[in-house]
Structure 1
Amino acid sequence: MLEVFLAFLKLGLTSFGGPVAHLGYFRSEFVERRQWLDDRSYTDLVALCQFLPGPASSQVGMALGMKRAGWPGALAAWVGFTLPSAALLILFAFGVTRWAAFAQSGAVHGLKVVAVAVVAQAVMGMGRSLCPDRLRAAVAIAAAALVLWVPSAFTQIIAMALGALIGRLALRLPTGAVPVAEHEGIGNKRTGAALLAIFVVLLFALPALAAAWQSPMWLLAAEFYRAGSLVFGGGHVVLPLLQSAVVPPGLVSNDVFLAGYGAAQAVPGPLFTFAAYLGAVLPQPMLAWGGWGSALGLLGAIFLPAFLLVIGALPFWQSLRQRPGVQQAMAGVNAAVVGVLLAAMYDPVWTSAIHSRADFALALLAFGLLVFARWSPVWVVLLAALAGWSGVV
């Protein structure tokens, strides 16, 4: 367990660049250097975690820890990989909340502007890989239009469900047997079925229990659990789901929300640790668990579905991935997810950040540096914050 924790702590401190980069770091560390598993087994784990909702890189880490040291290893892998970025974002949140002028400063405005470039890069990359044909491109555009027309978390779920239905009925994908990995599965199907059942029960039970207890904090935990259950296609998709949970009710302002999202690009590790930032910036009446307690509680709530799904699905993965209907439905969901993120790029990201030609120029510069110059997001975020602080925008 200690070996797993230290290995993932090193990666949590150094893994910049988003989920794709994380998977590359994992392969170098655990396949090539430590030789915990072979290439085929690792590729199979990556395929599973890209198929499931949730943060793919974190789920791969959980599965690797599970293979190495059982249940304690899965927990150690998650803590080691998540702790550094979560701690940094919580500290940033305390700065935003304790110095009110900082939330209105030029540096924070620069962080909001760079968020436009980051989300645009994510939409472009996901669109290329997840919408390669006309049908899936049409699904993405329709999903974006629907979410912009009726903006709500429920509409986002409807868009994904319609994407799954269209994919299942109309999409045709290449067929072929998927090779079985050398180290296939973890645990037995009975345990896996129990974990998947717990995932479904919590998805419906948490909102009901929160409403029965009249607890705003538990209701928010239920919203974050649902967000973690519905994120397909990459960590950036969590943006519209969390925004709809905290901004419309007035718990967090759009400025503070987008400032944290911009800061999340400058820290290593998974983007889902943005949930810890939101927990720490909640208003005082909501902080019944304390600032750190609320941050860690919501962090656990958004990651719990990922843990239940990946460990529960592993024993069933080989047979599940062979079914054409499942593959078609998931391809439709992924196309709809691109549309949901496209809608979020306009509202709230664009509408809250771009107020002048200078703002748009800085966003274009950041986009060019990310996409064409291939700068690290860390340097692009720091450049945007400096431009805002100096009064350029």
Structure 2
Amino acid sequence: MSKACLIFSDGSIYEGTRFGADRGAVCEVVFATGSTGYVELLTDPSFCGQAVTLTHPIVGNYGVFEDVSESERLWVGALIIRDLTEVQGDERGAEDFDTYLKRNDVPGLYGVDTREIVLKIREEGTKVGAILSGGAKEVDMDAAMAMIRAYDARHLVPEVSPREVIVYPAWRQGWDEKKISDARIMSKKSDIELPQTDGLKEKLFKVAFLDFGAKKNIIWNLTMRGCEVVAFPWDTDANKIFEQKPDGIFLSNGPGNPQHCGSAIEQVKILIESGIPIMGICLGHQLISLALGAKTHKLKYGHRGANHPVKELDSNRIYITSQNHGFVVEDDSLPANRCVVSHVNVNDGTVEGIKMTDKPVFTVQYHPEGAPGPQDNNYLFDRFIALMRDSKDRG
């Protein structure tokens, strides 16, 4: 393995050792605080365009099992870690982490002081950085700065959103294990697909799902509650959604600045006024808030990890949540005549959820499907099911 460096936009350099794909990368550099779940993180579309620094020092120690993947491919731009563990001859059949990243063309950097990088981000905010080959005295700083200046994060949602409508049948979840195994044996990029459908029970509800870069566990939480999920591209016209006659509408998570989704916000306004039950998670929460006239702003270093405490105001209960966002809704910009804040972040008091008072619409900023509890946030999906059932009963 050869030397490589992380270079920030302010010119600071962190020298380490390359692993994974042998190529450079230019990304927004962020950090995540989870001790486990690196496969889930790498396959989360919300990390598109980002180099993730893991605060936990030891990574790769339990290998890779792709059946926990959150999407069909890896989305993280690069991974920065302290210590890399090699896995060989694992009796469970786990794949080596470095091999997994090489196979999927994701570059990594290890042997750097991740504590120092995290402190820098916490004190100065997230920055764009480049990972380039060579030691600190060898890298071409002029080339690195040019690459950093050219970084553009305005089109992340179109990159991760599906380009056509996809139907996920009720009562089905998970991946085609044979496809995963065959790709690994042949050292090809991950081939993660849905299994074939047969012998499934009849659906209870139809959910129109606006996919801004969804984690598949969100979809599984709906399908395993009897929902047929019809996933639409991020910029689908509201009338196309109404043609499906859905019992409910769901707005997924996704990467980047919600204000870059201007055309989608206009359609969300129409969806809200339809009176159809709606639930939004993460980016979906922000888009619903923007559609109501609220404002958002970028956090200094974001919330990313599996251990963030959130208070539900109605019950006064604290939930441990999984989070991945760099933007938040401004509390005082929400229309008081239409919605109330339902959840707040215990650490910094930011908005973690809203519910409308005149429409069957609610949102959370965090990821209930992330299951750090592991099941204490499942009630949110049950609440969405109850809204759809009540709506159907009223006719």
TM over 0.5: no
Per chain length, whose mean CA-contact separation is higher, i.e. which structure has more relative contact order (CA < 8 Å, sep 6+)?
1
Larger-Rg structure: 2
TM-score, scaled relative to structure 2: 0.29
Q: Which has the higher strand share?
A: 2
TM-score, scaled relative to structure 1: 0.29
Q: Which has the higher helix share?
A: 1
